[in-house]
Structure 1
């Protein structure tokens, strides 16, 4: 977000003798000096994310990136997202330093499942009145997410729009672009009955299901300072989304062709995301007791009286990424992922579907 204010033209008003003079952009609610200060604050954050291929970023009208010659037939893969109503809790609890990582994670994890290495990221931050400290905290989280993903924070936009947002609130959006060799695209077409389903642990609820989470918190009267499993509820609920890029890319490189399909467990939970990589006639049978469900999800289910099926349809329940591999490769893939910091569980199998059966079942 390096062009904080880009009006098509300066805002003028006709001179009114009674008012004592003309209007300025500041009078209209736009503080260009604050925007300039924000740009200076975030320049070093963006600099830490630079990588080979960046040709032009900060200061230009468009950011430029050169695709590495290591690709023979590069295919660009893009993804865009926001962070949903998790923002409402960021506002209420004044927790702005990690929400940017959520923004990056939602896009880079999505393009990762097709085998793409994230190359760069751009963000959009919109508010009614720019608070430099808040915006800098948010961008700090975005930069941290880009570092974790190996992507350059190459540009973006800050829009200060008076009367569009309540005081103290903002909205976020962003997108990532990555590349994958055409011959190495992962599409799930080779998945077959007998394959093994691996699950990578999540860091919490990530950025999904927060409308339900907020309703449960409201009805239960819980406070962010309440302790749950020796951690505050605020810390558990606002934990930033885990970024799986570097560990999964390491597995791609160490074991070419071993990863048959991946599903990022976002909105729709386990039961609606895993089917996106399965061919007709196949079902992923997930064993609910094959991993330790984090305390946060146990509390959400109990405090909200949420049914099992609804839990699996809304939340990741502790599994943020699913990987399907052939049984003979399961141990080797799990070993590489564990060596790169992932908590890996063997959570199910792929089998032929029964008549009328859903493509993913949790048993």
Structure 2
């Protein structure tokens, strides 16, 4: 019997689908198909077979793995990270590397930083890059994706269906804005639009499953996190910021968004993740291990909720808001002028301060929020 090619309509794959019946068989009956399995159809080269194997109960899975000398257990994924500093706004890209393929999560805003990402990907993954994901619709997480796609033609760019719709709504205006702000040489003329990814999980050939958790709230609605339970690693996107940074708050147009962000952090707590990779950070030297960044994000959002958002609009001037954050987070007050972190504080202060410059949104964020607010949390219903 030849190995399953993974095509749903192939003759070999019909046998893979038959394997579903094995879930209901006894150990004795399973032993009769052990040789069939070892012949090569139910192997990790087939994504669907890999999925079926992974969803067997532990006892059955262990029995099957031990029924032949060939080890069939999924291999251990690893995640590498790289921060694009400067005009790319300290955005964190994450590379999920498997035994036969790799996936990139989030691409920088700017062309030069995306070009720097190419050799980094090649040096950290000797396997093909098969997909790129954008965690949400903010352009600093996908706008220069064409650079990566040109360098890795086997890959496609993906996002959730709702995120793709939002990107289509804003892409023209945001591209023009960033060209004006950063120069035409730094921004794509015709940015690539992601394809809608229809599933809530994916698996790389021979490897553990990666779960897409969303939509959840972070610094905007409609965010997706990537959870790899086998290595207790969460790629959190802009649901979490590095502990050395101020955060983008100017999309919080309604208190429900702020509370939903805190709900997302509670969801993260429940996962028991040992490594939580933020969407923006100043350094990854600590490996993003532990809850330091999540705790910082929670404290920052709660401070905004209590000290700024809960007060009537225009209670404070931009200068007063800046002073409040500097006092509450003195370690951030020492960050140099002109940095992304400092710029974020200035924008927030202007947006929420009396007489300040309000941010104009290309999306009705309040309506977006109300369309699915805490739909995953039955305690909110």
TM-score normalised by the chain length of structure 1:
0.27
Of Structure 1 and Structure 2, the greater strand share is in 1
Q: Which has the higher contact order (CA 8 A, sep 6+)?
A: 1
Of Structure 1 and Structure 2, the greater helix share is in 2
